[in-house]
Amino acid sequence: MSDFEPDILTFCCNWCSYAGADLAGVSRLQYPTNSRVIRVMCSSRVEPIHILEALKEGTDGILVTGCHIGDCHYIEGNIHTDERMKEIVDALEHLGLKDRLHLEWVSAAEGKKFQETITDFVEKIRALGPNPLKKNKKEE
Amino acid sequence: MTQQESTTNEEAEELRIGAFICECGVNIAGAVDCNAVADYISTLPNVTTAVVNKYTCSDAGQDEIKKAIKELDLNRVLVASCTPKTHEPIFRACVEEAGLNPYLFEFVNIREHCSWIHMWEKEDATRKAKELVRMGVARAALLEPLQSSEVPVTNKALVIGAGVTGMQAAMDIGDMGFQVYLVEAGPSIGGKMAQLDKTFPTNDCSICILGPKMVEVNRNPNIEIMSYSEVEEVDGYVGNFDVKVKHKARYVDIDLCTGCNSCVEKCPVEVPYWEFNEGIGTRKAVYVPFPQAVPLRALIDKSICIDCGACSKACERGAINMDQEDTFSDLEVGVIVVCVGYDVYDPEPNHDFGFGLYDNVITTMEFERLINASGPTMGKVVRPSDVVQPKRIGFVQCVGSRDVNSNIYCSSFCCMASLKNAQLIKEKYPDSEVYIMYMDMRTPFRMYEEFYNRARDMDIHFIRGRPAEVTENEDQNIIARIEDTLTNKIENLELDMMVLSVGAVSPESTEKIRQILKVSRAADGFMMEAHPKLKPVDTTLDGIFIGGMTQGPKDIPYSISQGSACAARATRFLAQGKALTEGITIAVDEDICVRCEVCVPMCPFQALKMDDDGKLEIITALCKGCGTCAVACPTGALQQSHYKNNQILAQVKEVFAYEEV
C-alpha cells in the first residue's frame, strides 16, 4: 500500500475557499499533488449525487470547502451545506465510506489553512487505503 | 428553453473546442510541461486544437484565440492558465469579441492550483495539469450560452463612515454630481483625525486642516450627512442596493439645537470623556462632541442621564426631547463605499509595558489629546499620576504591531507619529529629555525621512531596543530596563512618563457591517480588497468598495488617496447608469416541477415564489445564482445555469478518468 496515491476531489466555493486556494498558490505554499478542484458558486451547490458519483467512480476522498459560517456570500448557503453534509455522512456510514468525505471552512485569507487541509486530508486517506469501489484508470 | 430542448440542440451541434495552454513565462512552464499537456489534450474527443502560448492573456495570446475562433470555427474555448478570479472577465470579453457567447468559455487554473503549489514536482504537476484540463474539456463540451442582463443603476451612493477617508469619497462623488448619503456611527463626522493634535510630516494642526473639510462636506449640496446612524440591512446587488439605516435617538432635535452649550452648562452629571478624549477630562450627560463638530449639535447619553430636566429648562429653543426614539430610513443606492476606519490597539488586557498597572504609561492617542491645544488640558502636557509636567518622556514603538503576541503586521504610521510627538515636546518644552525606543524606524514616502532627520537634529535620543521590563518607583516614575542593541549597553532608563506607540486594529464594531455586506476578511482582521495590487479599493462584490484603514493600517495621505480612489471606482457605475449582472441564475423545468415548494424557503434572497396559479415563479433580478435551491429540489426541476448537474458530473467523472465498467 506504500505506493498508493489517493485521488482527492475538492469542491471550492467561488468566494472564500477558491480564493483561499488561490492565496495558497500565490504564497507558493507547497502541498501534495493529489487534489483536483471543482469550483462552484456556493458550497451549498454540492449535491449528494456529486459525492456519490465521485465515490462510485473510485475517487478516494472528497473535500467540500466553503466560507466560514457568517461569511457566506449568499448569507446562509453554508448553513445548508453543513446540514446536508451531515446527512450525507450518515448515509455514507452505512456504506463504510464516511471517512472519505470531509467538510472544512476556509476563508479567502486562509491560504495556509487550505494547504494544511489538503495535506492532512491526503494523509488521512492515504492511511485509509484505496476506495473499495475504485475502477481502473484509462490509459493516457 | 427546457432541458430536453437544450440537450437536443447540443446533439445537433458539432463540438469544436479550442484549448489554449498558457506558460505564463516560467510561472507555469517552470513546473508543468505545457507542450505535453497540449499534446495530450489534442487527442481528446471534440478538441479541434490545443496550443501553447507564452502569455495567453497578452495581446498576442488573445489575438490567437480570436483568430482560432474564426479560422477553425471554434464553438468552445478553454484557457488553462491562472485564476478566474482575475482573468475570467478578460477571456470572456476576448471570446465575445470574436463572436462567441462569453459563457462558452471555460477556465482551468493550472497556476495557483498547480504549478505554484507543486514547484519541484514537474512530473506529478504535469499529470495533474493534464487531468485538470481534461476535466475542463468535459465541462466545456456541456456549456450553454447565457445572457448577462443589463440593469439600471440608481445614481446615488452610500458612504459608510465619515472619517477623513469617507469624507473625501463623499466629496468626490458629490462633486461629480451624484447624490451621496454619508452615514456615520458617531455623533459627528471627522473620525480619528479630529482627535489628533498635529499631523506629520508638516506638523499642520490636524483639526485646522480637517475642520474646513468637515464644513465643506456639510455644505456640499449633494451630500446628506446621517450622523449617529448605522447601516442595519443591505439587500440587492450592484446598481440596486436597498439599505436600511438606523438613526439613533440623540434625545435632541437637531433641527432646533444650535450647539450653544447652555444645556451642557446646566447638566449635573459628569463622566470621563472616553469617546473623544480617551478618558482624560470629562463630559456631561448632555454634550456637544467637540467644538468643531459637524453637525454642531448636542446629544444626550441616556445611560447616565438622571432625567432631572435641567437641560430642558436651559434650552431656549425647546430642542430637548427625552421621548425621542430610534428612527429608520430606507435608502436606494447604486454603489456603496465602506470607510469604517480602525481602533488603536488596546494594551490594557495584556498590560503591555505596564499599561493599566502604572498611571504614567499612556498611549499615543492619550498623548494626542494631552498635547492638543483644544484638548482637556488645553495642550499642557501633564502626567496622569500627579498632573505635573514630565521632564523625561519615552516612546515605545511597535506596541500591538510587529509582535507575534498581538499583530504581526506593521501599522506603518506609528514611527512617524512618535517622531512628530517627540518634536512637539522638544518645541514646547526644550529642556525635556525625549527617548524613542524602537526596533526599526520606518519612514518611507515623501518628506518622511527628512522628518526623521529633523528629529535626530533636535537632540531626541534613539535607543534601538524594546524595554524588557517596566517597573514603577516610589515617585511613580517609570523604570524601563532596556538594552540598546547598537551599543550592547543595558540600562535602567528612568522616565517621568512613557508613551506606547500603539498600532491599528480592525474594530470589532465594524464586523457587523462587514457581515451585512459580505466583504471578505483578511488574516489581519481588516477587510480584504479584490486584488492586493490591481484592485486595491475594490472588493470581490460588484459595486462595493473599501477605503482607508478599513483595508489595513495607513497614514492620512494614503487614506485620502484611497477615498478618492473609491469615489472614482464607484462613480464609473453611476456615470454609465447601467451595470451588467451575472448570467448565472436558476431556471425551472416546469414539466418536472411538482410544486412541492421545498425550494422556496431555501432562497435567502426571496427569488422564488409560487404564483397565483401555484406555479413556481423565479424573480431573476433577485437570484444571485448560488444554486442552493437546485440541491434542495427533489425532482431536479431546478437547475443552476453554468453549474448544471451534467456539467458538474462531467467534471467529477472525467477528472480521474476511470474506465467504464
Q: Which tens digits make up the pLDDT trace of B160-195?
A: 999 999 999 999 999 999 999 999 999 999 999 999
- Are the Cβ atoms of A40 and B627 closer than 8 angstroms? yes
Put simply, the answer to whether B83 touches A71 (Cβ < 8 Å) is no
Flag whether pLDDT at B98 surpasses 60. Answer: yes
Q: Which of B207, B594, B551, B253 is nearest to B409 (CA)?
A: B551
Residue A98: band (very low, low, confident or very high) from pLDDT cuts 50, 70, 90: very high
Q: Is B404 on the interface with A (CB under 8 A)?
A: no
Q: Across the interface, do A77 and B656 touch by the CB < 8 Å criterion?
A: no
Instruction: Report residue B56: phi and psi, to 5°.
Output: -65, -30
Q: Residues A60-86: pLDDT tens digits?
A: 999 999 999 988 888 889 999 999 999
pLDDT score at B1: 38
- Least confident among B5-14, B54-63, B179-188: B5-14
Verify whether the Cβ–Cβ distance A54 to B652 is below 8 Å: yes
Structural element, H or E, at residue B229: strand B229-237
CA-based nearest residue to B34, from B108, B110, B136, B98: B110
Number of C-beta neighbours around residue B453 at 10 A: 12
Q: pTM for the whole thing? A: 0.87
Express as a percent the part of chain B with pLDDT over 90: 92
The reply to whether residue B113 touches residue A29, judged by beta carbons under 8 angstroms, is: no
pLDDT digits (tens, 9 = 90+) for B564-603: 999 999 999 999 999 988 789 999 999 999 999 999 999 9
Per-residue pLDDT of B263-303, as tens digits, reads: 999 999 999 999 999 999 999 999 999 999 999 999 999 99
Residue B8 has pLDDT above 90, yes or no: no
Cβ atoms within 10 Å of B606's Cβ, excluding its own: 12
Q: Which of 92-121 (B) contact A at CB < 8 A? A: 109, 111-113, 116-121
Mean pLDDT, chain B, as a whole number?
95
Write the residue in B130, B528, B643 that is nearest to A108 by C-beta: B528
Longest dimension (CA), chain A: 45
Give me the DSSP letters along A73-87.
Answer: TTSSHHHHHHHHHHH
Single-letter code of the amino acid located at B222: N
Q: Does B354 touch chain A (CB under 8 A)?
A: no
Binned at pLDDT 50, 70 and 90, residue B13 comes out as confident
Lowest-confidence pick of B229-233, B360-364, B530-534: B530-534
Question: Which of B626, B654, B659 would you mutate first to test chain A, the one with the most A CBs within 10 A?
Answer: B626
Region B366-392: mean pLDDT is: 96
Strand order in the sheet with B179-183: B223-226, B179-183, B156-160, B335-338, B544-546
In whole angstroms, what is the distance from residue A109 CA to residue A22 CA?
10
Note the pLDDT of residue B360.
98
Handedness of CA B415, B420, B421, B427 (dihedral sign): positive
Give the DSSP H or E segment for B188.
Answer: none
B620 has pLDDT over 90: no
First-last CA distance in chain A: 23
Per CB-CB distance under 8 Å, the chain B contacts of A74 are: 604-605, 624, 626, 628
Place of cell 449617529: B228
Q: Does the distance separating the beta carbons of A26 and B112 come in below 8 Å?
A: yes
Over the stretch A11-65, which tens digit does the pLDDT of each residue have?
A: 999 999 999 999 999 999 999 999 999 999 999 999 999 999 999 999 999 999 9
Beta strands in B417-572 (DSSP E): 433-438, 461-464, 469-472, 478-484, 489-495, 497-502, 504-505, 544-546
- State whether residue B192 sits within 8 Å of chain A by CB: no
**Per-residue model confidence (pLDDT) at position B604:** 84
Q: Do B84 and A31 touch (CB under 8 A)?
A: no
Q: Which ipTM value was assigned to this complex?
A: 0.97
Helix (H) or strand (E) holding B81: strand B76-81
Please provide the distance, in angstroms rounded to a whole number, between the alpha carbons at the two ends of chain B.
34
Between chains, do A22 and B83 touch, taking CB under 8 Å as contact? yes
pLDDT range class, residue B6, cuts 50, 70, 90:
very low
pLDDT at res. B606: 84
Rounded to whole angstroms, the Cα distance separating B143 from B95 reads 14
Taking contacts as CB-CB distances below 8 angstroms, the residues of chain A near B84 are: 39
* pLDDT > 90? residue B305: yes
**Best B37, B113, B534 residue to mutate vs chain A (most A CBs within 10 Å):** B113
Chain A residues inside the 8 Å CB shell of B541: 73
Q: Please give the helix or strand (H or E) that residue B40 lies within, else none.
A: helix B34-41
User: How do residues B74-95 score in pLDDT, each as one tens digit?
Assistant: 999 999 999 999 999 999 999 9
pLDDT-derived band at B5, boundaries 50, 70, 90: very low
